[in-house]
């Protein structure tokens, strides 16, 4: 993992004390709310429906056990004993008091954490593949490059007042688990014909009010040119991005309006200039320095563990969990574990302080001291010995963390929605709970297979509904919640934006509607087809006919 | 339609309502129900003053029905008056 050097620590510590002074001045009246609001947002502090909300940055979703324990400690000491993992791989506290925020930030700083770049019109916390460094077929650890981008982007003076927020995601796998094509910039790291690292840069993707899949703008960029290319892209955006209209200010609108060819041309021209200046050429020594922080852990030389066959026979529940939540690791004898934060009928992404402590302990003992947060709101233990899986599962299961549903219909993404969020038009969590309970039967879930259901409580799309195989968007009709359904979205390497199927449904109709859609798929699917495959083969019409006849 | 003035308390963000005696109260039942536009404007002026005094943040009026029971019209204000519907152990509803 990356560790702060003395400069990092100093910057973060100073930032805490600056904010302590700003809070004191706000409470004494020296600062008005209008003056204070941009300052608190720069430190991740929002005011939501019921209370303040503090959003803590988890760079590329990687945590040490010490950091996770501190997140649990803060939940217990300053909040209500739980917190919420978000689709940006961050963590949110829902109930902190304003006067406590400086102390919370000071506690975070002791474990090299902060809330910088979690709000405002800057380059936000960089996200990445939650299986980084463990996945089979990965060409490099994408967190090395995420960290290099983070260091370049944090407090970058030229990009501290962008037209709008800016989100970057990085993957180094052909299988995209980081939804890179629906980010302002998405980066795919691959190896070219000579096995040299090459960076494909997708620009102008995004969700929100006007969703787009990103375009390949920079192809095969060399490693030492990566920052120069990103700088060039940001400069084009900073110059031409619209500041006059909030709804047209993201880079996706610029790319859409001028077209990918013109965007490519402009970035190339700017890139030539940045390169000519030379200041952003990444020295190999610097790449090596960051690489050293992400050296693979000291894996033992193991063979495939055979004891699991016996354990699987002894416990059906373990066997099922193993089939669903355990992914293959690149090193023989190891496995990648998804700890589901989606218990049936629960709140997607919420974890109690006790659960955080338990996962931190398990990570420390069994997974080289590392935890990942996935953008799908689960936690990942990336390096577990196969021979430890049974004991690990028993501990997780006893703490309500053994739900077997990774990638299934109850592994739902949901934003906090109108239960917490000031921007929301409708609740999201209640819909997730209703669908989760409806499809609680695991045999049924497994028969349905991979189905990504994603729910947002407003058009800002924090719940990623546009890229859900089934997406649900909450809307407000004269103060009453309604839900619009989209089909056929995908956030992976075959990214697509979902199509709206028809008129919205009332709250109590959504689970029925989802069931109708699933049944339509089950009746129409060909062998081996997932929901998304069947949808792509048949189109929306058969689903629409069933849905609106049934209702 | 009758209205109530609401805001969030500066110190902890708690949802508060303006009462008839000018105090900021935590429950809807204790809030002043403003029957006319003129009453609403007076309340907004009180709210603006309280913002300057660092008591509250972002005061605004919202619609309620007052019979048979006092209730906000919009779901947003129903949830603000109670707490998260998915965590009934938290928020105002847990203190009743």
Q: What is the ipTM of this complex?
A: 0.97
Which residues from B are below 8 Å from A352, CB to CB? none
Give the tens place of pLDDT for each residue, A242-289.
999 999 999 999 999 999 999 999 999 999 999 999 889 999 999 999
- When the pLDDT of each residue in chain B is averaged and rounded to a whole number, the result is 97
Closest CA to A93 of A161, A35, A46, A133: A46
Q: What global pTM score does this model have?
A: 0.97
Q: What is the pLDDT of residue A307?
A: 84
Which residues from A are below 8 Å from B78, CB to CB? none
> CB contact, 8 Å: A39 with chain B?
no
> CB contact, 8 Å: A479 with chain B?
yes
Q: What is the pLDDT of residue B96?
A: 78
Q: What is the pLDDT of residue A549?
A: 85
Smallest Cβ–Cβ distance between A97 and the set B12, B53, B73 belongs to B12
CB contact (8 A) between residue B87 and residue A48? no
Place of tokens 């972002």: B58
> CB contact, 8 Å: B90 with chain A?
yes
The answer, yes or no, to whether the previous bond of A138 is cis (omega within 30 of 0) is no
Whether the Cβ atoms of residue A5 and residue A292 lie closer than 8 Å to each other: no
Which chain B residue lies closest to A32 (C-alpha atoms)? Answer: B52
Closest CA to A188 of A129, A236, A275: A129
Q: Is A56 exposed, middle or buried (0-12, 13-18, 19+ CB in 10 A)?
A: buried
Taking the C-alpha atoms of residue A411 and residue A342, their distance in angstroms, rounded to an integer, is: 6
CB contact (8 A) between residue B11 and residue A27? yes
CB contact (8 A) between residue B76 and residue A418? yes
Q: What is the pLDDT of residue A309?
A: 87
Sheet holding B15-18, edge to edge: B24-25, B15-18, B3-9, B56-65, B71-72
Which chain A residue lies closest to B55 (C-alpha atoms)? Answer: A27
Which residues from B are below 8 Å from A479, CB to CB? 73-76
| A119 to chain B, closest Cα gap in Å | 19
Torsion of CA B91, B92, B93, B95, to 10 degrees: 100
User: What count of CB pairs under 8 Å joins A to B?
Assistant: 78
Q: What is the pLDDT of residue A551?
A: 52
CB contact (8 A) between residue B15 and residue A50? yes
Give the tens place of pLDDT for each residue, A217-238.
999 999 999 999 999 999 999 9
* Count of Cβ atoms closer than 10 Å to residue A15 Cβ: 18
Which residues from B are below 8 Å from A28, CB to CB? 54
CB contact (8 A) between residue A479 and residue B11? no
> CB contact, 8 Å: A157 with chain B?
no
The SS3 assignment for A300 reads: coil
> CB contact, 8 Å: A25 with chain B?
no
Q: Which residues contact A379 (CB under 8 A, 6 or more apart)?
A: A85, A338, A339, A341, A351, A359, A371, A372, A373
Whether the Cβ atoms of residue A200 and residue A191 lie closer than 8 Å to each other: no
Smallest Cβ–Cβ distance between B13 and the set A26, A27, A52 belongs to A52
Sheet holding A52-56, edge to edge: A45-47, A52-56, A91-93, A82-85, A350-352
> CB contact, 8 Å: A418 with chain B?
yes
Taking the C-alpha atoms of residue A443 and residue A432, their distance in angstroms, rounded to an integer, is: 19
| A470 to chain B, closest Cα gap in Å | 22
State what percent of residues in chain B have pLDDT above 90. 97
Eight-state DSSP code of residue A509: G
Eight-state DSSP code of residue A419: G
* C-alpha distances in Å from residue B24, one per residue of A280, A335, B39, B50, B59: 55, 56, 16, 9, 11
Q: Output b/e per residue, B36-51; b: 16+ Cβ within 10 A.
A: eeebbeebbebbeebb
Which residues from B are below 8 Å from A46, CB to CB? none
Q: What is the pLDDT of residue A308?
A: 86
Q: Which of B10, B13, B47, B55 to mutate to test the interface with A (most CBs of A within 10 A)?
A: B13
Closest CA to A9 of A103, A110, A102: A110
CB contact (8 A) between residue A28 and residue B54? yes
Taking the C-alpha atoms of residue B13 and residue A33, their distance in angstroms, rounded to an integer, is: 13
Q: What is the pLDDT of residue A479?
A: 85
Task: Give me the tens of pLDDT residue by residue for chain A, a chain 551 residues long.
Answer: 999 999 999 999 999 999 999 999 999 999 999 999 999 999 999 999 999 999 999 999 999 999 999 999 999 999 999 999 999 999 999 999 999 999 999 999 999 999 999 999 999 999 999 999 999 999 999 999 999 999 999 999 999 889 999 999 999 999 999 999 999 999 999 999 999 999 999 999 999 999 999 999 999 999 999 999 999 999 999 999 999 999 999 999 999 999 999 999 999 999 999 999 988 999 999 999 999 999 999 999 999 888 888 899 989 999 999 999 999 999 999 999 999 999 999 999 999 999 999 999 999 999 999 999 999 999 999 999 999 999 999 999 999 999 999 999 999 999 999 999 999 999 999 999 999 999 999 999 999 999 999 999 999 999 999 999 999 999 999 889 999 999 999 999 999 999 999 999 999 999 999 999 999 999 999 999 999 999 999 999 999 999 998 55
């Amino acid at each position: 993992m990356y560790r702060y050097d003395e400069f990092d620590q100093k910057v973060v510590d100073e930032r805490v004390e600056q904010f302590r002074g700003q809070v004191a001045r706000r409470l004494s009246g020296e600062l008005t709310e209008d003056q204070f609001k941009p300052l608190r947002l720069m430190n991740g502090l929002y005011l939501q429906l019921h209370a303040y909300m503090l959003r803590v940055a988890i760079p590329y979703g990687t945590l040490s056990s010490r950091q996770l324990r501190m997140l649990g400690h803060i939940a217990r000491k300053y909040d209500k004993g739980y917190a919420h993992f978000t689709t940006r791989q961050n963590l949110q506290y829902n109930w902190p008091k304003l006067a406590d925020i400086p102390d919370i930030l000071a506690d975070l700083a002791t474990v090299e954490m902060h809330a910088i770049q979690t709000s405002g019109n800057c380059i936000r916390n960089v996200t990445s593949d939650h299986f980084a460094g463990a996945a089979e077929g990965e060409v490099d650890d994408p967190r090395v490059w995420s960290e290099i981008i983070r260091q370049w982007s944090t407090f970058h003076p030229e990009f501290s007042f962008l037209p709008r927020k800016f989100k970057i995601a990085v993957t180094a796998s052909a299988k995209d688990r980081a939804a890179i094509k629906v980010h302002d910039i998405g980066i795919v790291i691959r190896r070219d014909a000579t096995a040299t690292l090459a960076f494909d840069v997708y620009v102008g993707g995004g969700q929100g009010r006007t969703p787009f899949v990103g375009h390949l703008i920079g192809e095969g960029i060399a490693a030492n040119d990566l920052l120069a290319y990103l700088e060039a892209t940001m400069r084009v955006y900073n110059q031409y991005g619209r500041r006059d209209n909030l709804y047209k200010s993201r880079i996706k609108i610029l790319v859409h309006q001028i077209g990918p060819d013109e965007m490519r041309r402009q970035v190339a021209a700017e890139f030539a200039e940045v390169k000519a200046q030379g200041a952003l050429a990444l020295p190999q020594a610097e790449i090596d320095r960051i690489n050293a922080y992400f050296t693979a852990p000291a894996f033992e030389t193991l063979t495939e563990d055979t004891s699991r066959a016996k354990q699987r026979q002894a416990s059906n529940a373990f066997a099922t969990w193993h089939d669903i939540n355990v992914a293959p690791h690149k090193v023989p004898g190891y496995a990648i574990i998804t700890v589901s934060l989606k218990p049936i009928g629960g709140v997607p992404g919420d974890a109690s302080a006790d659960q955080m402590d338990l996962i931190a302990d398990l990570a420390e003992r069994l997974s080289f001291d590392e935890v990942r947060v996935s953008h799908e709101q689960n936690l990942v233990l990336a390096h577990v010995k196969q021979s430890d899986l049974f004991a690990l599962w028993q501990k997780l299961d006893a703490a309500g963390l053994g739900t077997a549903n990774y990638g299934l219909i109850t592994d739902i993404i949901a934003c906090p929605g109108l239960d917490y969020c000031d921007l929301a038009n409708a609740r999201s969590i209640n819909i997730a709970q209703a669908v989760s309970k409806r499809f609680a039967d695991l045999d049924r879930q497994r028969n349905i297979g991979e189905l990504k259901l994603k729910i947002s409580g407003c058009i800002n799309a924090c719940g990623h509904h546009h890229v859900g195989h089934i997406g649900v968007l909450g809307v407000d009709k004269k103060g009453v919640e309604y839900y619009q359904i989209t089909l056929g979205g995908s956030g992976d390497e075959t990214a697509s934006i979902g199509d709206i199927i028809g008129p919205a449904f009332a709250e109590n109709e959504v689970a029925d509607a989802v069931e109708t859609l699933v049944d339509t798929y089950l009746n129409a699917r060909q062998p081996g087809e997932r929901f998304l495959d069947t949808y792509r083969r048949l189109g929306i019409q058969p689903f629409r006919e069933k849905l609106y006849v049934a209702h | 339609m009758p209205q109530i003035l609401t805001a969030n308390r500066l110190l902890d963000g708690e949802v508060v309502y303006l009462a008839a005696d000018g105090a900021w109260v935590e429950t809807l039942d204790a809030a002043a129900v403003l029957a006319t536009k003129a009453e609403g404007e007076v309340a907004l002026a009180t709210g603006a003053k309280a913002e300057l005094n660092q008591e509250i943040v972002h005061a605004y009026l919202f619609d309620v029905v007052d019979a048979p029971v006092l209730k906000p019209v919009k779901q947003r204000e129903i949830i603000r008056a109670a707490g998260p519907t998915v965590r009934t152990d938290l928020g105002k509803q847990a203190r009743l």
